[in-house]
Amino acid sequence: MQPIYFHDKKEYKLWELDTWKKKRYSIWTNEFPDLLLENCSGGGARFDPGMFYYSLQIWCSDNVDAIERLRIQEGMALIYPLSTMGAHVGDCPNHIVGRNIPFETRGHVAMAGTFGYELDITKISEEERIQIPGQIETYHRYQSLMQRGGLLPLGFLVRPEPYDCWEVA
């Protein structure tokens, strides 16, 4: 196994870092019981299910392009509950794929997770800005269903069908 080095030039083994990380999380969650930690997949869906003990939410990808997120969230939702999936409305054009997606569509996709905004609202159009209160209201109306409901995929982007369709019940 390859050693890992940090600024102190000391050699660390992967299990040492994992032990350190879990020790830190344990201290933080015991000292601050209302603290919500969000784990990160590290850019490749590399999160440890055991980390749900410390963190009830995972940021599953830095790519917030709504079309790409459909694929990402579809895969994650096969194993993990929607309530664990960090999902945000992002900037357009997207910083990774450069695609422009309507603000409404970006909101709908983000609602299939923990829902939030990851953009500078001073740089979006007035038309988009006035949609934010309605999106938040819609999310709150269906939050319990989205967070506790079961996801039933009706169509898949990763299969031959040219659409993505889910039902939450």
Is residue 164 part of the annotated active site? The answer reads: no
Q: Which residue is catalytic, options 34, 48, 68, 164?
A: 48
Assess whether 68 carries a catalytic annotation. Answer: no
DSSP for residue 150: P
- Residue of 31, 128, 164, 167 marked catalytic: 128
Task: Say how many C-beta atoms besides its own lie within 10 A of residue 25's C-beta.
Answer: 17
Render the burial of 29-66: b for 16+ CB within 10 Å, e for the rest: beeeeeeeeebebeeeeebeeebeebbebbbbbebbbb
Here the tokens at position 151 are 């996801």
Catalytic residue list: 48, 128
